Amino acid sequence: MTRILLVRHAENNYTRTGKLAGWIKGVHLNEVGRLQATKLADALAIYPIKSIYSSPLVRALETARPIADVHKLNVSKCSQIGEVRYGQWQGKSLRVLRRRKLWNQIQSVPSLSRFPDGESIRSAQMRAINAVETIVGRHPKSCVALVSHADIIKMIVAHYMGLTLDLYQRIVVDTASISELYIANDVVKVIRINQVTEAFVK
């Protein structure tokens, strides 16, 4: 059985101010995020992590590297667990986006939604699940950390919980949180979702 630790990247100025960073380059962790990443690495030091995969975006890599350093591992970049391609919504404030007609559809029937000039939510889920399945096949009976983004982790968790994609928005995934799955063949166990230690709470 493969143990999958789904780790959301730590805080940056986009998450702090409620904006969609998407695939914008150079979005680094802020001071709080760097502290979160260090504390997260300390918390995961006791886990028998054998491999670490990360979204290629810098905020995810800056979260993954302290974990890798503790375990003396390299970080493997995996674009399939990269952020959703938000298209025209990238960089925009959530406060502004909530006024868009598409917002309600994304919240209620995301399975039918596509971001303007971006990807559909269904395709984002499919690529993320394909990545997890590949990693599970590559690392049977191992503990693997995947550092990714809120929506991607929510989609992965929803899939393995057997939830329709239209319900994935009910799941909460905070910065520097850990969600955990056990996967083996047709057996799936969701161990925890969105665990955040007191050290991360502002």
Full-model pTM:
0.96
Reply yes or no on whether the pLDDT at 199 is more than 80: no
Reply yes or no on whether the pLDDT at 198 is more than 90: no
Percent of the chain with pLDDT over 70: 98
**Predicted local distance difference test score (pLDDT) of residue 185:** 83
3-state secondary structure of 19: strand
Reply yes or no on whether the pLDDT at 139 is more than 70: yes
Residue the block writes with tokens 């995810």: 60
pLDDT averaged over every residue in the chain = 96
Cα separation, 136 vs 20, whole angstroms: 29
pLDDT one-digit tens code per residue, 96-111: 999 999 999 999 999 9
**Predicted local distance difference test score (pLDDT) of residue 59:** 98
pLDDT one-digit tens code per residue, 41-83: 999 999 999 999 999 999 999 999 999 999 999 999 999 999 9
Helices (H), the chain: 13-17, 31-43, 58-71, 94-97, 101-108, 121-138, 150-161
Assigned CATH for 2-200: 3.40.50.1240
| Domain boundaries, given as residue ranges, for the chain | 2-200
What DSSP string runs through 92-103? -BHHHHTTSHHH
For the segment 28-38, the average pLDDT, to the nearest whole number, is 97
What phi, psi does 37 have (nearest 5°)? -65, -40
pLDDT band at residue 197 under the 50/70/90 scheme: confident
**Predicted local distance difference test score (pLDDT) of residue 200:** 47
Q: Which two tokens stand for residue 57?
A: 């975006």
For the segment 11-31, the average pLDDT, to the nearest whole number, is 97
Residues 6+ apart with CB under 8 A from 6: 146, 148, 153, 156, 157, 178, 179, 180, 181
**Predicted local distance difference test score (pLDDT) of residue 159:** 98
Which residue from 40, 49, 60, 62 is spatially nearest to 5, judged by alpha carbons? 49
Cα separation, 202 vs 53, whole angstroms: 27
Reply yes or no on whether the pLDDT at 32 is more than 50: yes
Q: Is the dihedral of CA 116, 159, 136, 146 positive or negative?
A: positive
**Predicted local distance difference test score (pLDDT) of residue 202:** 41
Beta-sheet pairing, 49-54 with 178-184: unpaired
**Predicted local distance difference test score (pLDDT) of residue 163:** 97
Reply yes or no on whether the pLDDT at 7 is more than 60: yes
Residue the block writes with tokens 């789904």: 6
3-state secondary structure of 131: helix
For the segment 164-178, the average pLDDT, to the nearest whole number, is 97
